[in-house]
Structure formats: C-alpha cells, structure tokens
Amino acid sequence: MSGWTILCDFDGTISVEDVIDSLLDRFGRPGWEVLERDWRAGLIGSRECMAGQVALLEMTRAELDAHLAELWIDHAFPGFVAKTRELGVPVRVVSDGLDYAIHRILGRYGLDDLPLAANHLAPATPPKQWRLTSPFQAEGCRSGTCKCACAEQARRDGAKTLLIGDGASDFCAADRVDFVFAKHRLIEHCRAAGIPYMPITGFEDALDLLPRLLDGSLAQHARYHEAATA
C-alpha cells in the first residue's frame, strides 16, 4: 500500500473527446444547445442539463455502440493503470459522464474493471430514446456525479488523494484532495485557488510524476513551481 488513492476524471482526461458532446453533435434533436447555454450561464446544474440532453438523443443501441467504437483514449492511460497496480495505488474513475460509454470504451483496453462513479444511461421507450439517472448525486449539489462527495469519501477512507482532471466538473473535488494533476481549465483553477498541483498534458506526464508523488518529493517541487509562476 502506498497510502495514496487516485480519483480520475474520464471525459477530456482519459478520453480524448467529450462523449456526451460528440453524441449530441451526431444524434441530438434540437433543443440541447439551449440546455448547454443555460448550464454555462449557471442557470441549471450539470445533472439537469445532461438529463435534458440525453432525453433529446435519438439513436439505436447499434448506432451508439458504433459511435463509441470510434472514440479514443489517451494512449498512455493503460500503461499508467498498469503502473498504479504495480505500486498498489487504487484508481477510481469519477465522471459526470455516461457509465455505459465509459465501460464500452475502457472495455476495448481490458480496463472496464476499474471502479466507476458516473451517471447511468438507460434505454427508454419509445425505441431510440434514452434516459439518464444519477446514482452518485448528492444532496445540495447540482452535479450528476458529485465529485466532491467522492473526494470526501476517499479522505474518510484514510488515504491521501490525487485527483487527475481537466475541467469544470473537477473544480469542487480539487478543493478537497491532497494533490492534483491538472489539464486544461483545471490548471488555472488550481493556480488561482492555491491548490497543490502539477500541470500535465496527458498520462505520459502522469506516469513520469507518479513515483515522485508517492515518495513525497513532488509536493515540495510543486511549491517551488507555485512560487515561480505566482
């Protein structure tokens, strides 16, 4: 046991593309753009936004599966997971995306056994309709999957927690973990909020940084990095 546990975002972090965005582009009936705008404006939470958007998808399961078969993950993610297993660091995928899509995509790499917290995509009636439920939502939180609750749970379990993520759905969890490997918009959030982090471009970087996180040398380096970029 390393004393660390890893929470890892899916869309834009493990996967190259955002799954729901790509599905809406291809199978979304009109109306999803309004929900997107309301969510960006802070009028609705991600749970309400995505439940509405998923209800506007019109696709068969075969169409969905064919689409998911074309979505790719960071080429270094399987090697990263293999390394965490070698080092005894548990990884949990925490996603405000779709459980079915994540299982399908990770399954191609033999990684669908990773523990997962995500929204649940289920077929609805009439045919070609779908619906979204959020088994990992939390009281008082407007997200589908409450990543802050996942971070709190990891902390209660006694491990130090590393978050790997890229975007807005990771902001609240970033405030509650011990260290962040940050991509894209999450970099600026961590910098502005004074959260200990290292910027990464992908899992190749994460793989390089992991041993230094575990031996404690990274926390020190991150403080210098912070001072240098302040």
Residues 7-36 that bind Mg ion (CB under 5 A): 9, 11-12
97 binding Mg ion? (CB under 5 A): no
174 binding Zn ion? (CB under 5 A): no
Return the bridge partners of 15, or none: 11, 73
Query: Which does residue 53 bind out of Mg ion, Zn ion, none, counting CB within 5 to 8 angstroms by kind?
Result: none
163 binding Zn ion? (CB under 5 A): no
Query: Which does residue 12 bind out of Zn ion, Mg ion, none, counting CB within 5 to 8 angstroms by kind?
Result: Mg ion
178 binding Mg ion? (CB under 5 A): no
Sheet strand arrangement including 179-182:
129-133, 116-124, 91-98, 4-8, 160-165, 179-182, 197-199
Nearest to Zn ion of 73, 154 (CB atom): 154
198 binding Zn ion? (CB under 5 A): no
Nearest to Zn ion of 142, 221 (CB atom): 142
Q: Smallest Cα–Cα separation from 193: which of 176, 209, 210, 169?
A: 176
From the list 1-9, 20-28, 141-149, 210-218, the region that binds Mg ion by CB under 5 A is: 1-9
Place of tokens 């929204």: 119
144 binding Mg ion? (CB under 5 A): no
Under 8 Å between Cβ of 180 and 196: yes
Nearest to Mg ion of 12, 202 (CB atom): 12
Q: Minimum CB separation from Mg ion for residue 167, in Å?
A: 4
Under 8 Å between Cβ of 13 and 173: no
14 binding Zn ion? (CB under 5 A): no
| Identified binder of Zn ion from the candidate list 24, 141, 150, 164, rule CB under 5 A | 141
- The span from the CA of 37 to the CA of 154, in Å, is 33
Query: How many Cα atoms within 13 Å fall on the side-chain side of residue 4?
Result: 25
| Identified binder of Mg ion from the candidate list 28, 52, 144, 167, rule CB under 5 A | 167
Q: Minimum CB separation from Zn ion for residue 34, in Å?
A: 24
Q: Could you tell me how far CA 167 lies from the centroid of its own chain?
A: 8
148 binding Zn ion? (CB under 5 A): yes
Under 8 Å between Cβ of 185 and 168: yes
- The span from the CA of 164 to the CA of 89, in Å, is 14
Enumerate binding residues for Zn ion (CB under 5 A): 141, 143, 146, 148
